[in-house]
Structure 1
Amino acid sequence: MASEITYAEVKFKNESKTSGANPGSPAEKMWGCCPEHWMDSNTSCYFIPAESKTWTDSKKKCTEMGAHLLVINSREEQQFISKTLKKYTAYYVGLSDLERKNHWQWIDQSPYDENAVSWHSGEPNDSNEHCVLLNYRNSNQDGVWGLNDANCEIPQSSICETMKLYL
């Protein structure tokens, strides 16, 4: 079954065709949009599918929508996403060690930077867990969101990410 992404139509009246920015410069990218029903940030769009699936099926679902599982590029991005999530739900992200070599790899092949993400204390901790979840832990009355290595075959929620379109 094919999935379709719908972008909201955006029209601007009485807008100048030139913004004074150099063509192709970031300043020229003044109007960004995400597919309908997706959350948006500065450069990305995020979607949480309704069904819980295994990591592999979550990856497939995101791909069918023209996206990929969430790739966290900074602690700020992880914090932004965490603010929109349900505390007692775990979400697959696009980080895994599917080759079982204790080498974490992002789904889009971008370099893994352990300083860009926040793992829960003591994680990763199981050589039999090769996929990664973003989940909430309530410890010492201070709840925190963090990454946790997990069994890839247990159905969980997931977060899909795609690039924001600029007009």
Structure 2
Amino acid sequence: MHQKKAMRLVIILCLSLFPALSTGIQSTFELLIKRNEFPMFSYQQTTVTAGTHDECATQCARNPRCSLFKYEIPASQCTTLAPDRFNWGSAEVRKAQESVYAHTDTGWCPVEQGYIFLRDIQTCIRVSSTTANHDSALIQCGQHGGRLIILSDSNKWEMISKMTLDPLVTGLTVLVRVGADDNTVSGTYVWGDGRPVNGSLWSSGEPNDPNEHCVAISNGALYDIPCTMVVYFICEIHK
């Protein structure tokens, strides 16, 4: 059996509600109270000059992929950020007098619990800060109305699989649990919505162990893993 590894992730965020924007934008913006690191996503960034936080918020709202924006007060610089990939290795420390905001289109995404809204697929996701087995992961995702992420939809698969690619870490397998298993019929893997797992999504040689009934994603492909294996996991709230 091939060796499978789990890697410690840097957890995202602690959030507090930001006052309503004077521009009248209907979206909700929350101020990110960051600790030591920038969130564990890498982003496509665009920086422009903006006179106020509200102007920066408007820039984010105009970009259909913007999920975060940051505003540097002394330089009046507005940077909008569109999630690109999970950031396994590096961290970015926030500059002094630089505010960072999370953006959602509706009020149902619990960003205060570490979720981020992916506007492309209209889904809130959270990558866990701690490891857990399958049962514990289900419970933790369910605490905020979520579930282990289901990737039966091709658009969701394309985005999440891309975000697990890490070209900076060669040969490293970072496993993150997702919502599929073969617990109903051994050897027949299905997603939590009942759809079968597409065979083309598996990594070469996977699934490879009849005793491994749960599923994880890494570097854009699926792996079978023991349900008792303690790894990080992805929750989603899909609307």
Question: Could you state the TM-score of these two structures normalised by the residue count of structure 1?
Answer: 0.67
Mapping of 1:7-86 within 5 angstroms? 13=24, 32-33=105-106, 34-36=109-111, 37-41=114-118, 42-85=121-164
In structure 1, the partner of 2:53 is: none
Which of residues 189, 196, 219 is equivalent to 1:112?
A: 196
Hey, what does 2:56 align to over in structure 1? none
Per-residue CA deviation, residues 76-102 of structure 1 (Å, 9 max, x unaligned), is 422322444484531110000123522
The whole-number CA distance in structure 1 between the counterparts of 2:234 and 2:25 is 38
Give, in whole Å, the separation in 2 of the partners of 1:71 and 1:58: 14
Q: Decide whether the 8 Å contact of 2:213 with 2:224 is kept in 1.
A: yes
Mark the CA change 1:9 to 1:151 in structure 2 (over 3 Å): closer, same or farther. farther
CA distance 1:8–1:153, change in 2 (3 Å): farther
Residue identity in the other structure for 1:163: H
Following TM superposition, where does structure 1 have runs of at least 4 consecutive aligned residues deviating by more than 6 angstroms?
A: 6-12
Who is 1:158 aligned against? 233
Q: State the partner residue of 1:124.
A: 207
CA contact (8 A) 2:180 2:191 kept: yes
User: What do residues 1-27 of structure 1 show as CA deviations (whole Å, max 9, x unaligned)?
Assistant: xxxxx9988777288xxxxxxxxxxxx
TM-score scaled by structure 2? Answer: 0.48
Are the equivalent residues in 1 in contact too, given 2:152–2:191 (CA < 8 A)?
Answer: no
Name whichever structure is richer in strand by fraction.
2
Cα 1:9–1:49 change in 2 (3 A) is farther
Q: Deviations over 1:3-55 (max 9, x none)?
A: xxx9988777288xxxxxxxxxxxxxxx8333213222232110012110001
Q: How many residues align?
A: 135
Shift of 1:110: 3.4
> Which has the higher relative contact order, 1 or 2, with Cα contacts under 8 A spaced 6 or more apart?
1
Identity of aligned residues (%): 24
Q: Which amino acid aligns with 1:114?
A: N
Do structure 1's residue 133 and structure 2's residue 133 form an aligned pair? no
Over aligned residue pairs, what C-alpha RMSD do you find? 3.0
